[in-house]
Homo-oligomer: A and B are copies of this chain.
Amino acid sequence: MDEKLLRSLAQDLVGGKLSVDDFLVRLKELPYLDMGDVKLDTHRALRKAFPEVVYCPGKSDDQLLRIAEVVAERDGPALFSRATEAQYAIIRRALPEAEYFPVARLVAARLPIEHPYDGVVVASAGSSDVPVAEEAAIVAIAMGCKVKRIYDVGVAGLHRLLVHIEELQSAKVVVAVAGMDGALPSVIGGIVSCPVIAVPTSVGYGASFGGLAALLTMLNACASGISVVNIDNGLGGGYCAALIARQAYREKG
């Protein structure tokens, strides 16, 4: 309920400025503000802390420019995902302060300067999974997290992973990114006690079926505490991780 609006309408009613009928008409005219505001408050709160994310593929240069102009007029951090270098050039016309993360294919503007939420680890199995892992990492950073990256630690060379055992065990949340056999989250899930967000990638060929193999592996992970996002969804993985990392900073109970 938009309390202020309601209160003013009620006072108008009491004060005789509105008849009962007019009061009802006004209420009915505004079902959206009414109910929606509650959510919108929340939403706005979210938006202050979290970046807006614009998905670039398939957008025309013109569309992208107009979106960037709208974003430029608002406050708060903004992210453009899966952006090409050419798209970055267009976005920069409206948002000159925007910077480009070529590996993560992200354009970012007005990112937070402080990163109060620590404990996010992003791990990737192979070097080909790094673009997805970087997308997760930058998104979490954009949401105020400190991120530790542990890349190229696939289970086929277990010793590479095990060197990082202490960093993993002190994490508050791990994003585990892997294509092909997708086994990394299973192994990490057995080592850590915090939540693991598993991100399958489409890296592989043949019976990887565009990431389906890795996705199924992760959904069937034997270790507890693992949940999964869509194939190549680094953004979703980083977003979930940041939400979890921020929990530690919520007021208790």
Chain A residues within CB distance 8 Å of chain B: 1, 3, 6-7, 10-11, 13-14, 20, 23-24, 27-28, 31-32, 34-36, 38-40, 42-43, 45-46, 53, 58, 116, 118-119, 125-126, 128, 154-159, 162-163, 165-166, 169, 172-173, 180-183, 186-187, 189-195, 197-198, 200, 202, 204-233, 235-237, 239-240, 243-245, 247-250, 252-253
Contacts and interface: CB of A to CB of B under 8 A. Distances in A.
A171 to B, nearest CB: 11
5 contacts: A31-B35, A36-B163, A158-B191, A183-B221, A207-B230
Contact of A11 (B1, B20, B172, B210): B20
Q: How many copies does the complex hold?
A: 8
A112 B162 CA distance: 33
B215 A207 contact: yes
Contact of A215 (B162, B219, B227): B219
Nearest to A6: B24
Most chain B CB neighbours (cut-off 10 Å) among A14, A36, A126, A166: A14
Given A190-B157, A227-B236, A7 B32 contact: no
Given A156-B221, A183-B217, A38 B31 contact: yes
Contact of A247 (B7, B46, B155, B247): B247
A237 B219 CA distance: 12
Contact of A159 (B39, B58, B172, B221): B39
B236 A229 contact: no
Nearest to A225: B243
A210 B207 CA distance: 9
B207 A220 contact: yes
A200 B217 CA distance: 12
A155 B190 contact: yes
Given A228-B229, A247-B248, A119 B253 contact: yes
Contacts of A213: 213, 216-217, 219-220
A243 B174 CA distance: 12
B189 A156 contact: yes
Contact of A193 (B46, B204, B212, B224): B46
A195 B243 contact: yes
A211 B206 contact: yes
A230 B165 CA distance: 26
